[in-house]
Chain A
Amino acid sequence: MNIIVVGCGKIGKTILASLVAEGHNVVALDSNPETINEITNLYDAIGICGNGNDCDTLSEAGVEKAELFVAVTGSDEFNMLSCFLARRMGAKHTIARIRNPEYNDQNLGFIKKQLGLSMAINPDLLAAQELFNILKLPSAAKIETFSRRDFEMIELKLRQESVLDGISLIELRKKYDVQLLVCVVQRDNEVFIPDGSFVLKSGDKIGITATTSEILRFLKMLGVMQKQARNIMILGGSRTAYYLSKMLMGIGNTVKIVEKDHKRCLELSETLPNAIIINGDGAGQELLNEEGLSSMDAFISLTGMDEENILISFYAAAQNVPKVISKVNRDEFMYLAEKIGLDCTISPKNIISDILVRYARALENSLGSNVETLYQIMDAKAEALEFNIAAQSAVTEIPLKDMKLKPNTLIAGIMRGRKIIIPSGNDMILPEDKVVIITSGYKLNDISDILL
């Protein structure tokens, strides 16, 4: 598929990398020659140096034949204009990054319709949603939901001396009578799709699929259940902080935001009248202590600096704050932070690249069974995909135990009407089901790709 990406900042580059890895023909546009140079050296894509709002540049990039056009520069207005031009010049689908909260209210639908946008993505809002999900169930490192809200996949880090240490998955099913599936395990930077004989060790990060109620039951049995966060401190008054606070206060939590810039504090206190806004440097530990850091249920670090986020999060964890989350943009840091004990990090650019990859895959096969949702899990070493099963196909009406699956591929859940099935060998996939697949090392476009 021909894809054009305008704007190659942090987000642009991540999108570019995952789209190229998907095998698409990608053209990157940026006005900085050095960025373009770097991109053409790193990725198998064409880089064009120019203004993404210039029709000549756009047609040089081949906008007439582009199936997907993505504008993710730092400016909302630039992105909108660029997408509008691209749409008029023949691009089939356009996606713009629009992050200003003023555009992201009820007007967004109007803007999208008038500009012919297929999708507007707002990294801040998406990050806030993800944070909100995590805070609902603080025991898990990460939660992904599928099209049925009550079916979830959580990532759980097994702490030292975890009760699960040394238990094989068959034993786990016998010992705890819960309907769940351990579908992926990350150990020392390597990812396994485990079978029944797989033995868990403390330090592993495991992915579990189950219904929400079963997950809660299981966490209680393990004794790692934490109550939902009520008092939350956010460091850095970014847009993400604004969206998140709004959501959190919507369900009755109290939020305290610490922000350095006085002007930004005034803005926040105007838009979030119920939140406590503190003006001060969050890197100063005194301030955090004074504001009662140790009595918080959760601490979230959302400043623009990865290093600052990681270090302050460590401090918060040392003060026994039950749930500490930090925003980390650079993949290297994310890995490091996890390695030295921060198990919960979020990265807005990865959330966005997930969405785009999913969108591109869905475009690629608009017939047959579609990718409904797609998550890159375990540091993008594995994927969780949800497929719609349209009609009879090679995978339907065969007991799972007779199905020859590719190695490192697993059927993690079947959603049929109101029922959720954690599959065993005798279950079958039927038409009109939704199926969740976990895979590592393959690019699945269609449900039949899971077969050998």
Chain B
Amino acid sequence: MALPLIVSLIYRESSYLAFLISIGIALGFGFLMTILSRPKTRVFYAKEGFVIVSLAWIAMSLIGAAPFVISGEIPSFIDAVFETISGFTTTGSSIVRNVEALSKGILFWRSFTHWIGGMGVLVFVLAIMPKFSDRSIHLIRAEMAGPIVGKLVPKAKDTAKILYLIYIAMTVIETIFLLFGGMSLFESVVHSFGTAGTGGFGIKADSIGGYSPYCQWVITVFMLLFGINFNLYYFLLLRNFRSIFKNLELWVYIGVITVSTGIITANILSRFGGFFDALRYAAFQVSSVVTTTGYATADFDLWPSLSKGIIFILLFLGGCAGSTAGGLKISRVLILFKMMRSELHKMLHPRSVNVVKMDGRQIDDPILRNVGVYFAIYIVGTLATFVVLSFEPFNFETNFSAAVTCINNVGPGFSLVGPSMNFAEYSDISKIVLSFAMLLGRLEIFPLLISLSPSTWSKK
């Protein structure tokens, strides 16, 4: 929180006090925890990895909400928590009615939560801690997105460092590009944070709509870049082009984006003046939704239903595994489709032996099972959230898209939670449920569920 503190000091705003107090709270809490707990052993297994990650995220969200409440800019604590979780999980759903009224320090903090949440807090801690346990891979696995999480280099610490260096470098590059587009330094940094984490908190009521076409294109391209598996950038640095070329997930990702952009462009051509405008709007919206960022340049709620339908499907899809994007992840969807094909094949030829392969490598049974179960829980989670939201006096489209958008960490939904609206109308209970759904989506369900299950905590 030191960074937003500096920002508010630069702009001579009163919110700096709020940050000072929050830093105090965070330090006090951390200090208290280290005093209270003196663990006998520091060895941890998969279970502890899951629990550490979920508890850390919850604690962080509660403390992260402090600046909003203390500064008085979001007076309700629940609202503030919703906003913070939305930030850390890189969702970008907001309950703030008038964004432009917030102070710069608070706006910066909001976007900064995206940036931190994007790659993962504990991965960051790993990168800077001097010595961690041999088993820190459990932490990375619990926090990073995707069905298969491996290491780039033998040491977990170095892996975390490489990932963060790539992340920081790309953020800086985007900031520079945006500066050339006529944004102020503050605006470009804030928007880069939002893009990098694939979050989507803007600082204007119309999100990115008011900026020049150049800025919109820059953000489109970078949203797509942040939706790609970060391992591929490491391969790029190593000049290992073959691995990149062979990566099926990347090709499907590019394919999905090209096709959906094409269809939507044709569909909305009549609404906008020329082909290039339509292409720009379509490309921006598609990349914003597929990478689960949630920036908007146009209100797609007003678009024809074909376009809306495609965008709705993209809400589920999400980016590549190992990126900062949320959603189901393309690799999971791919594995699901391959499983489907192999199961169907097996029904036709009961004695046939099938191996599900990806990038020329066999996928082990436990991973297949994991993907199947993940998908089932994911659907159940979405529906459960939707049922709770249905108590609200809003239409079906609003509630369902709100549930989907939160669990996929996208941001905007349709109708009353569309790109130009926000979540302020929901009751506190719904906000809590939605916050939980966002955490579920960001941590990929399992860590949270495992932490909640009683058998994790009993010694038996």
Binding site for B on A (CB under 8 A): 2, 20-21, 24-27, 33, 40-46
Contact = CB atoms under 8 A, between A and B. Distances in A.
A42 B134 contact: yes
Interface in B119-144: 134-138
B136 A44 contact: yes
Interface string B335-354: 00000000000000000000
B369 interface: no
B155 interface: yes
Contacts of B158: 25
Contacts of B134: 20-21, 42-44
B356 interface: no
B138 A44 contact: no
Contacts of A26: 154
A44 B153 contact: no
Contacts of A20: 134, 154
Mostly helix, strand, loop or mixed at chain B's interface? loop
A87 to B, nearest CB: 21
B155 A41 contact: no
Contacts of B157: 44
A45 B150 CA distance: 10
B153 A42 contact: no
Contacts of A33: 364
Given A41-B46, A46-B150, A25 B155 contact: yes
B439 interface: no
A49 to B, nearest CB: 9
B97 interface: no
B441 to A, nearest CB: 26
B368 to A, nearest CB: 14
Given A33-B364, A44-B134, A27 B46 contact: no
A41 B154 contact: no
B156 interface: yes
Contact of B153 (A21, A25, A41, A43): A25
B154 A46 contact: yes
A121 to B, nearest CB: 22
A45 B154 contact: yes
Contacts of B155: 25, 44
A24 B150 CA distance: 18
Counting chain A CB atoms within 10 Å of each CB, the highest count among B136, B153, B154, B156 belongs to B154
Given A25-B158, A33-B364, A41 B151 contact: no
A14 to B, nearest CB: 14
Contacts of B137: 40-41, 44
B138 A41 contact: yes
B28 to A, nearest CB: 32
A108 B163 CA distance: 46
Nearest to B158: A25
Given A33-B364, A41-B46, A27 B154 contact: yes
Nearest to B137: A40
A46 B135 CA distance: 12
Nearest to B46: A41
A41 B133 CA distance: 11
A44 B156 contact: yes
Nearest to B238: A62
A43 B155 CA distance: 9
Given A21-B134, A41-B46, A41-B138, 6 more contacts: A20-B154, A25-B158, A27-B154, A41-B45, A42-B135, A44-B157
B40 to A, nearest CB: 15
A143 B54 CA distance: 51
B364 A41 contact: no
A46 B151 CA distance: 7
Given A33-B364, A41-B46, A25 B154 contact: yes
B79 to A, nearest CB: 41
A41 B150 contact: no
Contacts of B138: 41
Leading 5 A-B pairs by shortest Cβ distance: A25-B154, A44-B134, A46-B154, A45-B154, A26-B154
A43 B364 CA distance: 21
Interface string B145-161: 00000110111111000
A2 B154 CA distance: 9
A43 B154 CA distance: 10
17 contacts: A2-B154, A20-B134, A21-B134, A25-B153, A25-B155, A25-B158, A26-B154, A27-B154, A33-B364, A40-B150, A41-B137, A41-B138, A42-B134, A43-B134, A44-B135, A44-B154, A44-B157
Nearest to B133: A44
Nearest to B159: A46
Contacts of A27: 154
A33 B46 CA distance: 18
Contact of B135 (A2, A25, A41): A41
A2 B155 CA distance: 11
Contacts of B46: 41
Nearest to A24: B154
A20 B132 CA distance: 12
Contacts of B156: 44
A8 B79 CA distance: 53
A46 B153 contact: yes
Nearest to B153: A25
Nearest to B131: A23
B276 to A, nearest CB: 44
Contacts of A43: 134
A33 B137 CA distance: 17
Nearest to A17: B134
Nearest to B152: A46
A27 B46 CA distance: 21
Contacts of A21: 134
Contacts of A2: 154
Contacts of A41: 45-46, 135, 137-138
B236 to A, nearest CB: 17
B376 to A, nearest CB: 24
A63 to B, nearest CB: 14
